[in-house]
Chains A and B, each alone.
Chain A
Amino acid sequence: MSRSDQVSEHGSRTAKESGREGSVPRQRASSRSFLASELKQLFRRGRTQALLLALAAIPVMIAVVVRLSTAVPPGRGPAFLDRITQNGLFVGVTALIVAVPLFLPLTIGVVAGDTIAGEAGHGTLRYLLVAPAGRVRLLLVKYVGAVAFCVAAPLAVALAGAGIGAALFPVGPVTLLSGDVVQPGEALNRMLLIAAYQTVSLLGLSAIGLFLSTLTDVPVGAMAATIVLSVASQVLDQLPQLEWLHPWLFSHYWFGFADLLRQPIGWDSFTSNAMLQAGYIAVFGALAYGRFVSKDVLS
């Protein structure tokens, strides 16, 4: 402290001011480097890679089974399953649909539940805070990390599906739900759009996971609680007695991406979903903030 004071006394006033100005971009650069460190740590970690591989295995499994077996009559199995043999692009779409209720929420639960509780479990939370990372900054960086995984997870399913579909089956123009026919390039775009829809769908769950993660020092607890909530929300969404509640459940629009397969694209469901997820982010983000900023870190 005294050292830097001495230096600034020797230096001229302008030098002092320019030094202060110079520190602003440097801080920004350092914040970027913390986020980069978080993303690197998340995606280089064996567990995250295993989760993404497991997701990518879903379309591979579907494609191989369909390739090795005789044709199924239409209407049985997941949607579009009967179309795969004619057009490999349907592998990705089918796999995305299969992954929605359980596989995607499961992997998000693991990543979002681990955000703060995982650091607490390792004991590294205290060293991040003493660094000092700043509690709000840490929470934001952790949430951005979870969002990055929400982007990566459906993308892994879609891209693996497109790849294995193209490898094992013919690829051609696709007939949309509205009856219009689009070229394979446009069809691939639609599949990525579905992946994006699912990314948005999972943002609310990620915020819930982040909040639950601030409540405990045991990451498995936060993960399990997040996954259980995702299942519970879907179960409640099935009960007609609770119809008034359905539009408020974070899983309510999870399957609402059919409109993306029409010409022209219907954005209503996408918008409603985004609004709902934004609401969940606001509520659970605020709860996570309230909890974490005042929390005694004793791990």
Chain B
Amino acid sequence: MTSADRGAGLAIETTGLSKRFGHQLAVNSIDLAVPQGSVFGFLGPNGSGKTTTIRMMLGLAAATAGSVRLLGQDMPGKLDEVLPQVGALVEGPAFYPFLSGAANLHRFDAADRHASPGTRRARVAEALDRVGLSHAARKKVRAYSLGMKQRLGIANALLSRRELLILDEPTNGLDPQGTREVRSLVRSLAADGATVFVSSHLLAEVEQICTHAAIMSVGRLVAQGPLAELRQAGTAQLRLITPDAGAASGVLVRFGMTPVIGHPDGADAVITSVLPGSAGALSPNGSRNPGGAGGTGGTGERDAAAALEAAPEAIVAALVADGVRVRGFAVERGSLEDRFVALTGEGFDVAQ
């Protein structure tokens, strides 16, 4: 899935979607674009408006402003036609504690008027098998662990063939083994051609399974796009260890950098600098600003050209040519986590 299919087939598309609760704007005019066939990570700290957005997508809550299209159809106008093709896990699993796992799935399937009663038993058994709950099918949900309920919730989303799966925190409460299983389940669903929209605050999870991601902060969509682009949108840091600090910073300045010289252990200087051309910010609709990541080659005679072509190997070559003793050189690209923290803030301050 590349960014080329943007606009062509969007599984989810929101335009100016907003939700106000009293004075508080929980979701502030977001424009989500989830390409068909993608595994889309919906990131954001607790309370950033992810679940409210999902509720509006599914027609559970009415939008204060803006619109939602699921699978090319208006929501909630075409709710009856769209939702049978959508499997969802919303804000954690919820079941009748006094019914067994299988009976719960039977109940939810019976509620769907498009689901065929004839194949219900087989579909329930298959869904339970897919999440590894066949052995507990007859057990009352009251006796389920949180992880089992989570699996049952995912099984409920898989009762019929779905074009789109909206999974809100699907690995919540699962042990590492269960998390792995959910990851492979998501991959297999995507391989079957379904679009999977996963909300999460676990970055590692999103980095491992998603092709695309969006980041929410205090009700706003602060970034979205293919995962590779999102990751690169963070700035890259150059780290140079050398005893020849003066000469080295001279070279780096020629490349248009502003080096910072430190002497952490006394002997060699550690020079750090933001790699020019790496800070291509990502606009909310995912297109990159011009002047993206540096190309290859180029010896860097003129500063202006050099700033655009500051490839790490070119910098090293220039340093060595000027007689700088390079004892350590690294370019550290920001992880999704850095990007996330940069966009949403640090610490335990839950938004709102």
Chain B, interface SS category:
loop
**A68 in the interface (beta carbon within 8 A):** no
Q: Contact between A131 and B112 (Cβ–Cβ < 8 Å)?
A: yes
**B329 in the interface (beta carbon within 8 A):** no
Q: Contact between B62 and A296 (Cβ–Cβ < 8 Å)?
A: yes
Q: Contact between A122 and B55 (Cβ–Cβ < 8 Å)?
A: no
**Interface size of A by Cβ–Cβ distance < 8 Å?**
32
User: Residues of A contacting B110 with CB < 8 Å?
Assistant: 30, 33-34, 36-37
**B299 in the interface (beta carbon within 8 A):** no
Q: Contact between A30 and B59 (Cβ–Cβ < 8 Å)?
A: no
User: Residues of B contacting A33 with CB < 8 Å?
Assistant: 110, 117, 120
User: Residues of A contacting B90 with CB < 8 Å?
Assistant: 126-127, 130
In the complex, what distance in Å separates the CA atom of A36 from the CA atom of B117?
A: 11
The stretch of B96-104, B183-191, B260-268, B269-277 in contact with A is B96-104
Q: Contact between B94 and A130 (Cβ–Cβ < 8 Å)?
A: no
Which of A1-45 touch B at CB < 8 Å? 1, 3, 26-27, 29-31, 33-34, 36-37, 41, 45
The stretch of B81-89, B227-235, B313-321 in contact with A is B81-89
In the complex, what distance in Å separates the CA atom of A46 from the CA atom of B140?
A: 13
Q: Contact between A131 and B61 (Cβ–Cβ < 8 Å)?
A: no
Which residue in chain A gives the minimum CB-CB distance to B103? A41
Which residue in chain A gives the minimum CB-CB distance to B83? A132
Which residue in chain A gives the minimum CB-CB distance to B36? A2
Q: Report the minimum CB–CB distance from A276 to chain B (whole Å).
A: 33
In the complex, what distance in Å separates the CA atom of A203 from the CA atom of B92?
A: 36
Which residue in chain A gives the minimum CB-CB distance to B160? A131
Q: Contact between A130 and B95 (Cβ–Cβ < 8 Å)?
A: no
**B31 in the interface (beta carbon within 8 A):** no
Q: Report the minimum CB–CB distance from A125 to chain B (whole Å).
A: 8
Q: Report the minimum CB–CB distance from A26 to chain B (whole Å).
A: 7
**Interface size of B by Cβ–Cβ distance < 8 Å?**
40
Q: Contact between B117 and A30 (Cβ–Cβ < 8 Å)?
A: yes
User: Residues of B contacting A3 with CB < 8 Å?
Assistant: 193
Q: Can you list, as one digit per residue, whether each of B64-97 has a CB less than 8 Å from chain A (1) or not (0)?
A: 0000000110000001100111101011101111
In the complex, what distance in Å separates the CA atom of A131 from the CA atom of B110?
A: 9
Which of A29-66 touch B at CB < 8 Å? 29-31, 33-34, 36-37, 41, 45-46
**B238 in the interface (beta carbon within 8 A):** no
Which residue in chain A gives the minimum CB-CB distance to B153? A127
Q: Contact between A131 and B97 (Cβ–Cβ < 8 Å)?
A: no
Q: Contact between B106 and A37 (Cβ–Cβ < 8 Å)?
A: yes
In the complex, what distance in Å separates the CA atom of A25 from the CA atom of B93?
A: 32
Q: Contact between B85 and A1 (Cβ–Cβ < 8 Å)?
A: yes
Q: Contact between A126 and B60 (Cβ–Cβ < 8 Å)?
A: yes
**B58 in the interface (beta carbon within 8 A):** yes
**A102 in the interface (beta carbon within 8 A):** no
Q: Which one of B59, B61, B116, B156 lies within 8 Å of A127 (CB-CB)?
A: B156
User: Residues of A contacting B97 with CB < 8 Å?
Assistant: 122
**B342 in the interface (beta carbon within 8 A):** no
Q: A1-B72, A30-B113, A298-B55 are in contact. List 16 more A-B contacts (CB 8 A).
A: A1-B85, A30-B112, A30-B114, A33-B120, A34-B111, A122-B94, A122-B95, A123-B91, A124-B94, A124-B108, A126-B91, A130-B86, A130-B88, A132-B113, A296-B61, A298-B61
A-B contact pairs, 8 of them (CB 8 A): A46-B98, A122-B94, A126-B55, A127-B90, A132-B83, A132-B84, A296-B60, A298-B55
Shortest Cβ-Cβ A-B pairs, 7 listed: A123-B94, A37-B110, A133-B111, A132-B83, A131-B111, A296-B61, A131-B112
